[in-house]
């Protein structure tokens, strides 16, 4: 780390510290020109709380899987036949199809689900399969940066649509699609995170969901719905997913166990019509996900543990959200504006004019509090002046202290 600091770069390393029975990863940061500081309060990474990873249940499910399935759990594929090397374990696809089907009120078949190594991989697979040079893709003005990067890598043209308090400004969609067409590009895909959007935390209203699907129909484009925060709802159920509302087979839904079980599982999925799923399978360059892990997680889902865990998580994260909102009002009231998110992992802070964010960020970091600047997330320069705060991985007792440090750092960097 010292070496990195000497070279004048900024890098992250990780160190484990034991807290009770859980191993908590803290980030050690080396900042150009500063001594390395252990980050005791990490608001930066979109990580769910590691203290609530269901370690014991997962251990039991892995052991039970090995006892019940023996060597079959360790082969390239099992009962589902060789297609499991493209789509993934049929046992887990069955559970995912049943759960998504119940929630979204649609019958989902196992050939309409493809497993991926995290939804980052699922999103990469989807854009690689569905986009190419000459195609146009629309993303939200602030979005999940990796998807945007994957879209660029296909050679497709990207345009952004603004966001407001109700999510994507769907009214602007037609104009953006028209501009793509006028530039000789074929509009092909809309990528959206409609529920508890990252980074803004917004929820697309029911009416806008319907309008978005209507526009997608008019323009004959696919909609890639990133649904990875949907279950983390703290104020009752959010509006139905786009997949639930879609009658035309245009919605490709990406989802993940990362935020509701643990990101290190690297287990996620994409649901779409069987033909689209086959296109994703054809674009795949591996033999799908681990049979052992997929079967163990299928067991965890089938026995009802996932649903019970999500109910618990909602309570844990609602409490953290409330602690965060109170602390922000108390310590940052004059220098940031924010909306209390109804779900998900993030607060989206709008900085008051005159705040020099990079200076504030460096000050807070020197004191062990890490935050992410919006411009590394936004697909549009208008993202500057905003900060994404991810408080859920921070212990309850540290959230207030961390925000106090942040508030002082911002106040000292204003004007």
Ligand X SMILES: Cc1ncc(COP(=O)(O)O)c(C=O)c1O
Contact 352, 335 (CB under 8 A): yes
| Identified binder of ligand X from the candidate list 137, 190, 193, 289, rule CB under 6 A | 193
Residue 160's DSSP bridge partners are: 139
Nearer to ligand X, 263 or 379 (CB): 263
- Provide CB contacts within 8 A for 73, sequence distance 6+: 65, 66, 291, 292, 295
Q: Which two tokens stand for residue 101?
A: 């089907």
Residue 26, phi-psi category: left (phi > 0), alpha (psi -120 to 50), beta (remainder): beta
Nearer to ligand X, 222 or 228 (CB): 228
Nearer to ligand X, 141 or 409 (CB): 141
Q: Which of residues 106-125 bind ligand X (CB under 6 A)?
A: 118-120
How many residues form the binding site for ligand X (CB under 6 A)?
13
**Residue 77 interacts with ligand X (CB under 6 A): yes or no:** no
Show the binding pattern over residues 23-62: x = contacts ligand X (CB under 6 A), - = does not.
Answer: -----------------------x----------------
Angstrom distance (rounded) from CA 403 to CA 322: 13
- Provide CB contacts within 8 A for 178, sequence distance 6+: none
SS3 for 254-272, per residue? EEECCCCCCHHHCCEEEEC
| Identified binder of ligand X from the candidate list 157, 195, 256, 413, rule CB under 6 A | 256
Q: How many CB atoms lie within 10 A of CB 333?
A: 10
By Cβ distance, which residue is nearest to ligand X? 118
Nearer to ligand X, 173 or 265 (CB): 265
Nearer to ligand X, 13 or 264 (CB): 264
- Provide CB contacts within 8 A for 197, sequence distance 6+: 140, 163, 167, 203, 204, 229, 344
Angstrom distance (rounded) from CA 168 to CA 226: 13
Taking CB under 6 A as the binding criterion, the range among 256-264, 325-333, 352-360, 402-410 that sits at the site for ligand X is: 256-264
CB of 257 to ligand X, least distance (A): 7
93: helix, strand or coil: helix
**Residue 374 interacts with ligand X (CB under 6 A): yes or no:** no
**Residue 144 interacts with ligand X (CB under 6 A): yes or no:** yes
| Identified binder of ligand X from the candidate list 139, 221, 261, 268, rule CB under 6 A | 268
Nearer to ligand X, 46 or 343 (CB): 46
Nearer to ligand X, 46 or 407 (CB): 46
| Identified binder of ligand X from the candidate list 65, 198, 200, 291, rule CB under 6 A | 198
CB of 2 to ligand X, least distance (A): 30
CB of 196 to ligand X, least distance (A): 9
Q: Which of residues 308-347 bind ligand X (CB under 6 A)?
A: none
Angstrom distance (rounded) from CA 343 to CA 61: 28
Q: State the helix-helix crossing angle for 291-302 and 90-104, rounded to 10 degrees.
A: 40
Q: Which two tokens stand for residue 245?
A: 């509302």
Contact 37, 25 (CB under 8 A): no
Strands 222-226 and 22-30: unpaired
Can you give the binding site for ligand X, defined by CB under 6 A?
A: 46, 118-120, 144, 193, 198, 226, 228, 256, 258, 263, 268
């Amino acid at each position: 780390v010292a070496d990195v600091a000497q070279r004048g770069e900024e890098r992250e390393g990780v160190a484990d510290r034991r807290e009770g029975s859980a191993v908590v990863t803290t980030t050690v940061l080396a900042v150009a020109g500063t001594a390395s500081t252990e980050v005791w309060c990490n608001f930066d990474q979109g990580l769910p709380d590691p203290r609530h990873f269901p370690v014991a249940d997962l251990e039991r499910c892995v052991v039970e899987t090995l006892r019940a399935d023996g060597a079959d759990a360790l082969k390239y594929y099992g009962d589902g036949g060789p297609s499991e090397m493209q789509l993934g374990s049929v046992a887990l696809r069955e559970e995912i199809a049943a759960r998504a089907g119940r929630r979204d009120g649609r019958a989902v078949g196992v050939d309409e689900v493809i497993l991926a190594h995290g939804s980052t991989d699922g999103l990469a697979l989807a854009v690689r399969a569905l986009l190419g040079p000459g195609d146009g893709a629309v993303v939200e003005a602030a979005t999940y940066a990796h998807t945007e990067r994957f879209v660029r890598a296909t050679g497709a043209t990207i345009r952004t649509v603004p966001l407001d308090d109700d999510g994507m400004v769907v009214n602007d969609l037609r104009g953006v699609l028209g501009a793509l067409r006028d530039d000789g590009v074929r509009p092909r895909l809309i990528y959206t995170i409609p529920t508890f959007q990252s980074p803004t935390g917004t929820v697309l209203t029911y009416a806008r969901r319907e309008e978005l699907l209507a526009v997608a129909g008019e323009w004959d484009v696919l909609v890639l719905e990133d649904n990875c925060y949907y279950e983390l709802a703290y104020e009752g159920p959010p509006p139905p997913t786009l997949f639930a509302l879609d009658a035309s087979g245009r919605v490709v839904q990406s989802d993940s166990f990362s935020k509701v079980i643990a990101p290190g599982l690297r287990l996620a999925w994409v649901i779409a019509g069987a033909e689209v799923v086959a296109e994703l399978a054809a674009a795949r360059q591996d033999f799908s996900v681990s049979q052992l892990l997929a079967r163990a997680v299928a067991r965890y889902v089938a026995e009802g543990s996932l649903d019970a865990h999500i109910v618990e998580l909602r309570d844990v994260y609602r409490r953290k959200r409330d602690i965060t909102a109170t602390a922000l009002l108390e310590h940052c009231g004059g220098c940031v504006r924010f909306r209390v998110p109804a779900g998900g992992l993030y607060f989206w802070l709008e900085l008051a004019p005159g705040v020099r964010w990079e200076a504030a960020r460096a000050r807070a970091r020197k004191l062990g509090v890490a935050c992410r600047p919006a411009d590394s997330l936004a697909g549009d320069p208008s993202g500057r002046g905003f900060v994404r705060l991810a408080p859920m991985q921070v212990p309850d007792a540290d959230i207030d202290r961390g925000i106090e440090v942040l508030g002082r750092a911002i106040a000292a960097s204003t004007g």
